[in-house]
Structures are given as C-alpha cells and as structure tokens.
Chain A
Amino acid sequence: MRFITLCVRTLAVSESNFISAAEHAGETFVLNLGPQHPATHGVLRVKLTMDGEYITRAEPVPGYIHRMHEKMGENRNYAQFLPNTSRIDYLSAMHYTHAFVGVVERAAKLEVPPRAEYIRVITSELNRISSHLVWFGAFLLDLGGFTPLLYAFDDREKILDLLEGITGSRLTYCYYRFGGVCNDIDDEFIRGTRAFLEEMRPRLKLYRELVTDNIILRKRLIDIGPISAELCRKYGATGPVIRGAGVPYDVRRSEPYSVYPELDFVVPTHAEGDCMARYLVRMEEMGQSLRIIEQALDRLPEGPVLGKAPKTVKLPPGDYCYAVEAARGRFMVRVISDGKEIPYRVKLRAPSFSNLSLFEEASQGMMLPDALAVMGSLDLVIPDIDR
C-alpha cells in the first residue's frame, strides 16, 4: 500500500518538474479556490495554477476579513481591548483571552489566585476540545463525509452549554479578567463537566471506530500531504501541524504558563508528517485535554477568583510577551507600553497565518482533492489569519 502511494507520489513529483514546462508553454489555467468556497471555511482565497488535476502553484490571498485588531489595540485601553481577543480566532476564544490577560498580568505583576488559574485551565481545555470537534466535523465534511459533523456538534453542544452557564456566551467568551476570571464556577458546572468527561471518553472510542479506522478515511489521509519538521520550522508552523511532523513542541510544556506544570499530560506526536498524523494528533489531544480537566477539577482549590487589579491598568514602559498553546498552535501577544493607559503597540502572533504559509510549498505537484485534504488538516481559521 505504502509502496504504491510512494510510486504515485514519485510520479507526481517527477511530473511537477514537467509541469513547470507546461506552465511555460501556457498550458496551465488559474483556478480560484475561494474566497467563497466550502472548503476554505470562511473567506480565504487561494489562487491555484493548475496543470490538469495537478497544482503547480498555490498562492494564498488572505485579507478578506481583516479587521485591524492590532490597530484597534493601539487606540483603546487594556480592558477595552479584552473583548477583541476572543474575536481573533472565534474557535479558541479562551486561549486568546488568556494570552492577553497573561501579558498584562506579567507586565503589571498582578497576582492571580490559584482557583482562578485552575478555572482558566479547565475552561481553556474545554474550549480546545470544542475547537477540535469543529475541526473534526469540518475536516470530514471537506473529505466528503457528512455524518461525523453531526456527532461532533452533538458533543460540542454540551461544552457550549457548560461554558454558556458560567460565561454567558457560547462562542466569543469574555471571561478572563486581569487578575482572574469574572465569575466563579458553580457546582452545576463542576457536575456537568464531570458528566461530560464520562460521556466524552466513549465518544472518542466511537470516533475511532467510526472514522479513524474507516478505510476510506485512511486512504484519503495516509501518505497524503507530507509536511516535514524542516518545512514547519521554515514557516514557523506550530500546534498540531508541527506535532504531526514529530516535533513535541507544545507551549504548555516548552514555555509553561498557568498551572500546566503541575498537571500530568503527554504531548501527542506522530512522526509521519502526513494528513493522518495531524489528524491523529488532534484526536489524541482531545483525550489529553479530558485528562487535564479531570486533574484540574480534582485539585481545584477554594478561594477568590479575582485578585487585586488596578481600576485603570497602566503597564510600566517596556516590551512584554506572553504565549499560549491555542487549539491551532502558538498564539503570542506582544505588547509594547510607553507607560500610558493605551498600549503603544499590540502585536498578535496568530498560528493559522504561519500554518497557511507553508501550504504553497506543501501543495506543489499535488492533486486538487489531496490539497484540500492538506488544507483541512492544517485547521485554518480565516479570521485568525487576517486578524
């Protein structure tokens, strides 16, 4: 099986050399993938130069939903920028807010009560599972399987209900505050989360049986779209993309933040680097997130959830960074302060942007349906790319 695909790939590669000649001879055509395309999940446009079924060049054209988040950061105070962070990548709002409150807490040296840190970890990991579930459904939709989406959204709905109960919103949470979180979690949430943990484990098994072991999926993903660790380094790809290339890079471990060092979890990696590896990394991550939530619930200390924070936050002049592991990879906020109420500069390092950048090189000489599988396996969120 592997041998056959290898042959096909060698063929494709040798053909890709030939293709440039075809391009030269004007025998190629341009195909617009997007800006409105079901497989780009938003408004991303990829300009594909095609030679028949094969891609000779893929040029991503981002920017269709650029909302100037970085610029908005420069004209409002720190607290006012907080709701923006959850709109950058709407699927992992908790992580993004975490990075922003993290950078302010680090710069202003604010204490965060331990209970708040645990609550942050619990909600962040719930958010990670819900984000991966959306990816799972949408990715399989790209590949032509409709049913898994309905299973995934059934589970995701439970997470959204839980988070809605404590934060008040279902997607763009604005729950973290400088120095803690805005509401304490109640018994209902804890009970609900424990019940969810119980329900989710058999569901992950169900996904494995129904989807992961399915021969159609395996044939669509195994040995398709190899992305090497070298390529990831070149473009700064992080998250499940680099872990799917065998590099155990996870911000929760390599630059520990919050209470992650106290928790026991493994960073799943797969060395193959193909679409299947990235798929498996995300599926295993959901299991690990369940483990993290369980431990955090067991250790949840009593106490306040919001530490002391000044009414108007002013950071001492300087340059501050804080990175978190969002669902799509490393998200970092860099704030440059000149001592005023309003930041001088807010730089957002979004994982999807780097993950998209490698698509051009990775999709060279690939068949179009395979390229869509690669794009799906990168788990792009377009507002995150454009910011």
Chain B
Amino acid sequence: MKHSPRQIIDGFWSLLTGMRITLGQFFKPTVTVQYPHESLKMPTRFRGHIVFVRDPETGKSLCIACKACEKACPSDCIVVDGIKREGEKRKSVTDFKLDFTKCSLCGSCVEVCPTDALEFSRAYNLASVSKEQFHCIDLVKRLEQE
C-alpha cells in the first residue's frame, strides 16, 4: 500500500507528540514507592484482619462472647467461646479463632459487635509459605502477647 504524504506527516507528528509527552514526564517526580525498602502508612480505616480492642481499664478484651459476629460472618470464619466467671456481670471470652483464609474483610463482624470489641488491624504484609499461619488466628492469645 502506498503511503500518501499526508500519512507520513501524520506519522511524524504522532511520533513527535509522543516524544514530547514522554520527555515531559521524564522530569516529573517519581511516583513509585520502593516497596520492601520503604512502605506506605495505611489509612486509619484500612481493613486488615480483625483484632480485639483492649479495654483501657482492665487491659482485657471487651468481648462478651455473645456470638453475634459468629452468626453475622458470611463465610463462617469465626469461632467464639466464653464462660461466665463468678463475680462478673458478663461472660468473658476464652476462645476466639479466626480463619483468615476464608475471611473476605467485609466488616460485618466489626459492625455487629454490641461492645465494639473488634477492630481491623493495619497489618498488610501478610504472606506466608504455609496456610497454617492464617488458618487459625487466635485473637485471645494475640491480645495477651501484645
């Protein structure tokens, strides 16, 4: 197919425009974050996996083992158990297991909790070579260890 002069001019013009824009971008600041060496701060509403909120008075979890989150969770990721200790008005949590492999981070559990005992963590560097690490995250233990 023979090229008309018009097409050749158009082609050159496209090339020049492209070069001009690319060169302009060349002097713009870099937007890339060199990830493992530097990382971004997560916004306050970031949804990591759920963790317990610590009661500022007792230092324990606010959870009353009402199982509302267990019921609300669409993927059955939560297993809660609690006992009623003597001398206490409410039940207290003894066991809270989260199966993070199934969690969709929807936030239903956080919203439904009557005592606001759950919040999202800001952890996002979540990678592992074995699924056991996320299969059963024990929130009670986690709170104790912190």
Contacts and interface: CB of A to CB of B under 8 A. Distances in A.
Given A82-B106, A154-B31, 6 more contacts: A80-B74, A151-B25, A164-B45, A168-B107, A172-B104, A214-B18
Interface residues of B, number: 26
Contacts of A68: none
A83 B17 contact: no
Given A82-B106, A164-B43, A215-B10, A182 B111 contact: yes
Interface string B37-80: 00000010111000000000000000000000000111000000
Contact of A169 (B1, B10, B47): B47
Interface residues of A, number: 30
Contacts of B106: 82-83, 174
Contact of B108 (A79, A157, A169): A79
14 contacts: A76-B74, A80-B74, A82-B108, A83-B106, A84-B74, A165-B43, A166-B45, A167-B45, A168-B45, A168-B120, A169-B105, A172-B104, A183-B45, A214-B18
B5 interface: no
A87 B21 CA distance: 36
A4 B74 CA distance: 58
A213 interface: yes
A147 interface: yes
A84 B75 CA distance: 10
A30 interface: no
A154 B31 CA distance: 8
B37 to A, nearest CB: 19
A164 B11 CA distance: 41
A147 B26 CA distance: 13
A136 interface: no
Interface string A143-164: 0000100010010010000001
Contacts of A147: 22
Contacts of B7: 215
A81 interface: yes
B9 to A, nearest CB: 10
A157 B40 CA distance: 13
B115 interface: no
B29 to A, nearest CB: 11
B14 interface: yes
A211 to B, nearest CB: 9
Nearest to B7: A215
A82 B18 CA distance: 44
A206 to B, nearest CB: 6
Contacts of A214: 14, 17-18
A157 B7 CA distance: 36
Contacts of A213: 14, 17
Given A157-B31, A210-B17, A168 B46 contact: yes
B67 to A, nearest CB: 15
Given A169-B105, A174-B107, A83 B47 contact: no
Contacts of A84: 74
A182 B120 CA distance: 14
Contacts of A187: none
B76 to A, nearest CB: 10
A202 to B, nearest CB: 11
Contacts of A183: 45
B21 A210 contact: yes
Contacts of B13: 215
B43 A209 contact: no
Nearest to A210: B21
A182 to B, nearest CB: 7
Interface in B15-34: 17-18, 21-22, 25, 31
A182 B17 CA distance: 45
